[in-house]
Amino acid sequence: MLQRLYSWVQQTTASSKSSEQLQQISWYRQLQKDVAREQSLDTPLHQLRVTVVDLETTGFYPNQGDQILSIGAVKTIGAELFEDSSYYTCIRVPEALTEEIKMLTGLTAEELEDGSSLKEALTRFFQFSNTDILVAHHAAHEKAFLGHMARFELGAPFLHRLLDTSIVTRILAPDSNCLSLDEWCEFFDIDISGRHHALHDAVMAAKIWVSAIEALQFNGYKTLADVYHVASTIPKNKYGNR
């Protein structure tokens, strides 16, 4: 009797988890349809809703086994930053924390042990960002990991528009040699603190973004389409250190 009851509980729990996972996948697929429909380049800059995101990872190549350690994100609308509207989580992969990464990020094994599963972390991140345009500093890194992990964990492609901060900074300073987050913070007179912490880096990138958006609006830019048009005529700097 006890054995049959134990077996029934196992089956019920597995069925519940499977149903929850299917709901998450269905929700994410619908979100991506909404994203494809709503992210217009003609939105006025002062109304542009953005989620600025930063990932701390074990390396640069998700398709070769590198993992996400933490996700940080913060909201902006136009040239206004909402630091109180933020998202941060660690991923439960304590075995991935090397001494080098620990020294760089300040993350501890305890933080990762108390973290979320990658699927949970991604789901909550996309619930936070919703249909916002995403922005990151050196966005190719975030795009590679979010694209790879979203398909693997959530079963659908990553369709969010993900912009690099350089799309706005190179219009304002086309001859600048700034590459790293620290250099652009110094350029915009932004305090540098807590480097290589996902949320702190996201906030600093967001401050760069809103500073640039404010300057672009002052100079007559109306929409993201205007920004794209001019940015496409300016050579891109090679990526440097994050």
pTM of the model: 0.84
The C-alpha atoms of residue 83 and residue 73 are separated, in whole angstroms, by 9
The C-alpha atoms of residue 14 and residue 31 are separated, in whole angstroms, by 26
Q: What is the pLDDT of residues 30-61, one digit of tens each?
A: 766 656 655 678 889 999 999 999 999 999 99
The predicted pLDDT at position 235 comes to 74
Q: What is the pLDDT of residues 196-240, one digit of tens each?
A: 999 999 999 999 999 999 999 999 999 989 998 888 888 765 444
The predicted pLDDT at position 237 comes to 56
Q: Is the separation of the CB atoms in 213 and 48 below 8 Å?
A: yes
The C-alpha atoms of residue 190 and residue 218 are separated, in whole angstroms, by 19
Query: What tokens appear for 199 in the block?
Result: 């949320």
Mutual angle of helices 118-129 and 2-38, in 10-degree steps: 40
The predicted pLDDT at position 24 comes to 66
Would you say domain 2-231 falls under CATH 3.30.420.10? yes
Q: What is the DSSP letter of 142?
A: H
The predicted pLDDT at position 27 comes to 55
The predicted pLDDT at position 89 comes to 98
In Å, what is the CA distance from 19 to each residue of 6, 9, 39, 64, 231? 20, 15, 30, 30, 45
Q: What is the DSSP letter of 108?
A: -
Q: If pLDDT is split at 50, 70 and 90, which confidence band does 157 have? A: confident
Least confident of 37-46, 71-80, 186-195: 37-46
Residue whose token pair is 């077996």? 7
Q: If pLDDT is split at 50, 70 and 90, which confidence band does 138 have? A: very high
The predicted pLDDT at position 35 comes to 64
- CA-wise closest residue to 178 among 235, 232, 236, 240: 240
Most distant pair of Cα atoms in the chain: their distance: 77
User: What residues contact residue 240 under an 8 Å CB cut-off, 6+ apart?
Assistant: 179, 180
Q: Residues 58, 64, 69, CA angle at the centre, nearest 5°? A: 25
Q: What percent of the chain has pLDDT over 70?
A: 81
pLDDT at 7 over 60: no
Specify the DSSP element, H or E, that contains 218.
helix 198-218
The predicted pLDDT at position 79 comes to 96
**Domain boundaries defined on the chain:** 2-231
pLDDT at 90 over 80: yes
